[in-house]
Structure 1
Amino acid sequence: MREDGLRLAIEAAGGVGALARGLGIKQPSVSTWQRVPAERVLAVEALTGVRRERLRPDLYGEGRAGPRGMTGSDELDEIERARASEYLLLANLLRNAPSASLLEEIAGLTGDATPLGMAHIALAEAAAKADVSDVESEYFALFIGIGRGELLPYASYYLTGFLHERPLARLREELQRLGIERAESNFDPEDHLGILFEIMGGFANGTFPADLEQQKGFLERHIRPWAFRFFDDLAAAKSARFYKPVAEVGRTFLSVECEAFALE
């Protein structure tokens, strides 16, 4: 019998086959899992947005060591965990319409009186009221459409007015230097904001090795010059309802990141 964490991941990915494709492995391998293998936890988290604590509470629950027996200073600190979770949630929402289970997760978000905390509360309220089929239709209108969606969340488009331009080429050069390869199942250009946020989340959770200076440089070169404009456009989009508070979370979180890196 599958553990709850694996079941949530399969649902968030859109099925066993979709999860396997996203991980770059064969479907029969995933079909035999009873739980997410320790060596796959971070990749599944990045792909589905289901937090590692839900995927493998025996490894990542409170007071537990990581899959390599890491404890103390070797574990991700709370700030890095929060950064990774924020990036991966936004990445998931930008790349896919949220599943019912993800909407349920989002509805459980809490917040404080800070701008980001208030944005979380608004997003949680929107998720609690949302109908999954309505959000799927909204996502289609915003990002897919007939011919094209209302928005094109690509660096090349925002910086040059066209797709597949120099910003994408520069990004690919940097990804090659960092040793980050494009997943075979990914058909979007790598300068999609959801993919860029996946990479930043991977930096924060240790999936992709990068110190803070490298993370700062990546953010400054590939995200900051255009992502605020994208979130402004998303908030103002005709079809946006659930995605209005998503835009506010994205814009507010990005401001926090830029301030932390002293980029603003």
Structure 2
Amino acid sequence: MDSALKAADNDAAASAEDLLRADLYNLLAVLISKPPTEGVLAHIQGLTGDSSELGIGVNTLAGLAGKIRPKAVTKEFNALFIGLGRGELLPYASFYMTGFLNEKPLSRLRQDMRKIGITRAENVYEPEDNIASLCEMMAGLIRGEFGAAVTLAEQNDFFRVHIGPWAGHFFSDLEAAKNSVFYAPVGTIGRVFMQIESEAFRLEE
């Protein structure tokens, strides 16, 4: 995926469990930032999950990735997120939290991005509170890609403010959207993963 963010060099190491979390965030970021290429679909086709709801979602997505053509998934992506004027869904924190785009959630995110040391890449015009960018940021925080290592408490702070209040609702909407076929299990994966993250962070408080 062409990164929408500039990551700083970092020496921090993450645990295997944290790397799996980062991989899930990155998968969601890749799929929602733009239509998946043949290479991305081939990678997803090789994923396997267990018998949990999250694992079933992964297996369903992998099965669809082996059947769907890039042209068809691009059409679905456009219907969901682009549309004529707008897509079926608006994947922005400001919209889900206030009902409008470019509102206070975006302003607060930009303030926190400056504190953390995250900057937008050049030629990227999408508002930063898009769920794809937020998932990419979260993956970077887990891996320590934005400078100094980020503690679990700091990850919790970012999640609680910018992702937790609304991302589960968005992924539920994606799961049930009328244009979702390939993206329905993406919604399942995102919805369940947000539940897992919320509960894990709650137990750490």
RMSD: 2.1
2:16 corresponds to 1:78: yes
Larger radius of gyration: 1
Listed one character per residue, the Cα deviations across residues 78-101 of structure 1 (whole Å, up to 9, x for unaligned) are 111101111011001111100011
Contact 1:110 1:124 in 2 (8 A): yes
* Identity of matched residues, %: 46
Larger RCO (CA within 8 A; separation ≥ 6): 2
| DSSP 3-state at the match of 2:165 | helix
Match 1:206 to one of 129, 133, 144: 144
1:177 to partner: Cα distance: 1.1
Structure 1 segments (4+ residues) deviating >4 Å: 21-24
Does 2:174 correspond to 1:234? yes
Measure how far apart 1:23 and its partner are. Answer: 7.5
CA contact (8 A) 1:119 1:252 kept: no
TM-score by length of 1: 0.71
Alpha-carbon distance in 2 for matches of 1:125, 1:262: 33
Letter of the 1:240 counterpart: S
Separation in structure 2 between the aligned mates of residue 180 and residue 231 of structure 1, nearest angstrom: 25
Instruction: Look up the equivalent residue of 1:137 and give its one-letter code.
Output: K
Aligned mates of 1:155, 1:22 — CA distance in 2: 17
Q: Is the 8 A contact 1:88 1:201 kept in 2?
A: yes
**Residue segments in structure 2 that go unaligned for 5+ positions in a row:** none
Q: 1:251 aligns to what?
A: 191
State whether residues 4 and 120 of structure 2, in contact with CA within 8 Å, keep that contact through their aligned partners in structure 1. Answer: no
1:142 alignment partner, SS class: helix
Give the match for residue 59 of structure 1: none
Structure 2 residue 102 is the aligned partner of structure 1 residue 164? yes
More helix as a share of residues: 1
CA contact (8 A) 1:126 1:245 kept: no
- What is the CA–CA distance in structure 1 between the aligned matches of 2:60 and 2:13, rounded to whole Å? 31
Equivalent residue for 1:195?
Answer: 133
- Cα distance, 1:162 vs structure 2: 0.7
Matches within 5 A, 1:1-264: 13=1, 19=2, 75-208=13-146, 209-262=149-202
Deviation string 1:230-258 (CA, Å, 9 cap, x unpaired) is 11111121111100000001111111111
CA distance in 2, matches of 1:23, 1:252: 26
Offset of residue 114 of structure 1: 2.0
Structure 1 runs not aligned, ≥5 long: 1-12, 14-18, 25-41, 44-66
One-letter identity of the residue aligned with 1:127: A
SS of structure 2 residue aligned to 1:195: helix
Deviation at 1:116, TM superposition (A): 1.6
